[in-house]
Amino acid sequence: MTSNGQSASVKPAIARGRSDGAERRSVDFVPVSERHGSVRHLGAVWIVANINLTAMATGVTTLALGGPLFWTLVATVCGSLFGTLFMALHSSQGPHLGLPQLVQSRAQFGFFGAAITVWVFALVNYFNYNVADAILAGSSLHFLLGIPTAWGFPIAVLFAGTLALYGYRWIHRVNRFLVVPLGLTIVVLTFAAVARSTIPAGVFEPGPVEWHAFATTFVIVAGFQLGWAPYVSDYSRYLAPSVSTRSSFLWTYLPSAISALWVIGLGSLLAAATPGATVIMAIAHGGDSLFPGGGHLAVALLFLGLLVVMALNAYGGSLTLISIVDCFRRVRPSLAMRAVTIVAMTLSVWVVAAMVGEDRFNVFYGNVLVFLAYLFTPWTAINLVDFYLVRKGCYSIRELFNPAGIYGRWGWQGNVAYLGALVVMVPFFVTAPYTGWIARQMGDIDLSMFIGLVAASAFYLLTSRTLDLGNERRLVEKEQQVSER
């Protein structure tokens, strides 16, 4: 049960759409009168979101950890099935609330608390993924057209940024258009990797498990999927509130989990066939094994997928920046505001991508995936426990935009649970710069994600006992009665 009152902080956007279909809303509530689309459309979004150069690079990165190919693939499957579980549960919040994902975090962390903790980490998430995408965009355009690597990203972002600017409806349309050609690309590349490549004999035999590599691969792949969690419901929030939790969950979970494990696993297969090659050259080698020029075609098609995922990151990052600004200074959601935030992110990403460079991509990307998994594990547990167990979907939309409202400026319950879970996780961290003392005793096996999920859930269930849920429900019911008159 939710209230559909207008925002008290973000001024209402113009309800009518533009003639070109560009989205006019951003972080504000989507009223029922503007809801549209089919829940099946989520399937296309989350299939295409994982068929790109970034997901392929994730497979190259996991194989570089040194584990056998067989167990790398097993860990990839397990990590994808596990990480997508939480991401899909967040997706189901979109039709119910009609809000971008992170706005709802104000109920757990407070109006300002969410901006300073959750949204800053979310911005780091978008930023670092876009840095990785920028490097891959430069490498792929250099391979395809001979364009200098440094100029690949600004060229790519002209297309990705435009799609992000047009917003929700056009993102869904483009994903539905690309799902078949990109799906066929993965099928053909999989055939090339298995039947035509030069993968060494015996690599599919299980052999002994190297638990450090297995656990780190699991965390990387699960973190790759969990990285969608802060903005997954951004792409379901225009669906009708009558869409069931089960259907939105399944149309997110199955397409995303299967496409991720397939594409990441394929990246590992192609890397095994071309040891030491970059992700672009590994894909090109696989395509060329089928027919001359097949490598260029495969890279070109996966580059289209990269443009889409860059648009998703730019769109989500834009909403996050607007939300942070709105916490301190009221803003009016508009196309111009989204354009400003997209340009700001693009310029900063371009600078950092140039500093990292292609040569250090694997190290940079591997560390990003691990650290982001650490940052978002406690948040996802707190957010889901609050939605499904504590408040059970009962939120006042009006109060989520009111800094002096019932959710407060600082939600100490969520912040204490988050920080407490991070502290508990630290001894279990396994990273290049730091390994926790418990993880060292266990042979550098990373169990931090499991520890964080349990600790954050337990801490929040304990601290949430101080909430006056009865008063909150009465307020929501009163608002709902007013809105139905």
Please write the tens of the pLDDT for every residue from 147-204.
888 788 788 888 888 898 888 899 999 999 999 999 999 999 999 888 766 777 677 7
Task: Specify whether the CB–CB gap between 237 and 94 falls below 8 A.
Answer: yes
pLDDT at 11: 39
**Per-residue confidence at 484, pLDDT binned at 50, 70, 90?**
low
The tokens of 335 are what?
């196309």
Q: Of 28-37, 153-162, 260-269, 291-300, which range is least confident?
A: 153-162
Q: What beta strand segments (E) does 374-467 contain? A: 395-396
Name the amino acid, one letter, at 328. F
Between the two ends of the chain, the Cα-to-Cα distance in Å is: 17
Rounded to an integer, what distance in angstroms lies between the CA atom of residue 83 and that of residue 232?
13
Rounded to an integer, what distance in angstroms lies between the CA atom of residue 138 and that of residue 153?
5
Rounded to an integer, what distance in angstroms lies between the CA atom of residue 269 and that of residue 285?
12
Burial of 459 (0-12, 13-18, 19+ CB in 10 A): buried
Most confident stretch, 12-26, 69-83, 228-242: 69-83
Per-residue pLDDT at 483 exceeds 70: no
Rounded to an integer, what distance in angstroms lies between the CA atom of residue 333 and that of residue 27?
7
pLDDT at 15: 40
Q: Of 37-41, 120-124, 160-164, 259-263, which range is least confident?
A: 120-124
Rounded to an integer, what distance in angstroms lies between the CA atom of residue 30 and that of residue 243?
15
Per-residue pLDDT at 19 exceeds 60: no
pLDDT in tens, 295-334: 999 999 999 999 999 888 888 888 877 877 777 777 776 7
**Per-residue confidence at 14, pLDDT binned at 50, 70, 90?**
very low
pLDDT at 476: 85
**Per-residue confidence at 485, pLDDT binned at 50, 70, 90?**
low
pLDDT at 9: 39
Task: Specify whether the CB–CB gap between 219 and 370 falls below 8 A.
Answer: yes
Of 194 and 93, which is predicted with more confidence?
93
pLDDT at 351: 74
pLDDT at 10: 39
Q: Of 1-15, 182-196, 265-279, 414-428, which range is least confident?
A: 1-15
Q: Of 95-104, 193-202, 217-226, which range is least confident?
A: 193-202
pLDDT in tens, 116-132: 777 677 777 777 777 88
List all residues 6 or more positions away from 464 whose beta carbon is below 8 Å from its beta carbon: 385, 386, 390, 413
What percent of the chain has pLDDT above 70?
A: 92
Of 341 and 254, which is predicted with more confidence?
254
Burial 91-126 (b: 16+ CB within 10 A, else e): bbbbbbbbbbbbbbbbbbbbbbbbbebbbebbbbbb
**Per-residue confidence at 7, pLDDT binned at 50, 70, 90?**
very low
Query: How does the average pLDDT of the chain come out, rounded?
Result: 86
pLDDT at 5: 41
Q: pTM (2 decimals)?
A: 0.88
pLDDT at 296: 94
**Per-residue confidence at 4, pLDDT binned at 50, 70, 90?**
very low
Give the mean pLDDT of 281-296: 90
Rounded to an integer, what distance in angstroms lies between the CA atom of residue 222 and that of residue 76?
8
List all residues 6 or more positions away from 201 whose beta carbon is below 8 Å from its beta carbon: none
**Per-residue confidence at 70, pLDDT binned at 50, 70, 90?**
very high
pLDDT in tens, 360-418: 776 777 777 788 888 889 999 999 999 999 999 999 988 998 888 899 889 999 999 99
Of 121 and 438, which is predicted with more confidence?
438
pLDDT at 78: 97
